[in-house]
Amino acid sequence: MKNDLDSWMAELAAMPPDRNLGGLEARISGDITRLRQQNRAISALTPARYIALSVALLIGAFAGGAMAVSVIRAPALDTFAVGTDLAPSTLLAGA
């Protein structure tokens, strides 16, 4: 098996390349330049991302705090709660 693999590798090394590699270096350096420009643009937007994250955190904290306060102040609406305003006994007693 090893001899077959060695001969296959030797045949593969002797074959010419299947595509033209002439402009490969220019394409690679162009890709690197393009990626560096994209990274600069992304880095320039970093402060805006932090501001957006901060605003989202503040809105979430404010909404969560408002919900917590409303739950604390809201009357209990359980089935057997004592002070429910919409209970039939309370509605009939007022009539």
Q: Can you tell me the distance from the alpha carbon of 76 to that of 41, in angstroms, rounded to the nearest whole number?
A: 53
Provide the residue ranges of all domains of the chain, joining segments of one domain with +. 31-73
d(CA 17, CA 73): 78
pLDDT of 73 higher than 90: no
Average pLDDT over residues 69-84: 66
User: Which of helix, strand or coil describes residue 14?
Assistant: helix
pTM metric for this prediction: 0.43
**What value does the mean pLDDT take over residues 1-24?**
83
Give SS3 for 33: helix
Handedness of CA 10, 12, 13, 16 (dihedral sign): positive
pLDDT digits (tens, 9 = 90+) for 20-72: 878 889 999 999 999 999 999 888 889 999 999 999 999 999 999 888 887 67
**90 within 8 A of 84, measured Cβ to Cβ:** yes
Q: Is the pLDDT of residue 1 over 60?
A: no
Instruction: State residue 79's pLDDT score.
Output: 67
